[in-house]
Amino acid sequence: MAKPPAPKATTSAGGGVSLCVRRAIVRASRLGRKLVAQASLLAAGNSNSSRPRNVVVSDSTWLILGLGNPGRRYAQTRHNIGFVVLDALVERLAKTSLHRVEHNAHVWGPVDAAPLLAQDDKRRTTSASQVLLAKPQTFMNASGEAVIPLGETYGIPPSRWLVVVDDLDLETAELRMKPKGSSTQNGMRSIAACLDGNTDFARLRVGISRPPKDSGISIVEYVLGEWTDEEAVKVSTAVDEAASLIGDAVHGGPLTAKVKV
């Protein structure tokens, strides 16, 4: 299998200093204290950033983020399972509803999250929960540079973020909800770095497994490789289950989201 081209480097102008670092420096200088970006996120609703006039965000709105790499060449790769799940949510909930591009991300909503619940779930008729759906377009390793401004603009704190991401340490299509904690996945590390190490945000890990030990395939080549036919069938089923887990997490918290056996 030919090695797919690597995503573009995420260095920035000005001696390689990242956008997140430059943003933090500007805010600290302007407001006279450290870590203003993180503080503004943790105090939900205190953001001064503008948002579309017709968009209303409540205390029950969650920011759902699917991580991946933009462009057709990466669309069917294992690393892009976050995009695949997010696309399924858009199809089910939003379609073209309030679609726009903001802060280097495709954004939809907020929209009613009740359709993510089972048909017989009584919460469907009483739900006030909404979701803002987003696909960062900064490439995986710089995901934080899109995620942080989105959180600020809509006043949604990390405690109401749910990130959908691929995981090498789970079997293909295995799902695992985690309410918070560290991660070695590069997109997750980027988000945590832009929050000055804060990892108190939920994530839905979708397994992509690892390449066979004696295959000679590197991790980079593997995650940027496309699904096999057998894997694709498993993933298709997992995407539907992922939507249900996200619905449970949004309505009852990440700890209530259990994989159905």
Q: What is the identity of the amino acid at 227?
A: W
In sequence order, the β-bridge partners of residue 239 are none
Q: Which of 79, 103, 106, 251 is catalytic?
A: 79
Distance, in Å, from the CA atom of 247 to the CA atom of 259, rounded to the nearest integer, reads 12
Query: Is 79 annotated in the active site?
Result: yes
Q: Rounded to an integer, what distance in angstroms lies between the CA atom of residue 13 and that of residue 25?
A: 15
Note whether 85 and 167 are within 8 A (CB): no
Which distant-in-sequence residues (6+ apart) come within 8 Å of 33 by Cβ? 39
CA dihedral 31, 33, 36, 38 (to 10 degrees): 180
Cα separation of 124 and 135, whole Å? 26
Instruction: Give the Cα separation of 69 and 248 in Å (integer).
Output: 27
Known catalytic residues are 79
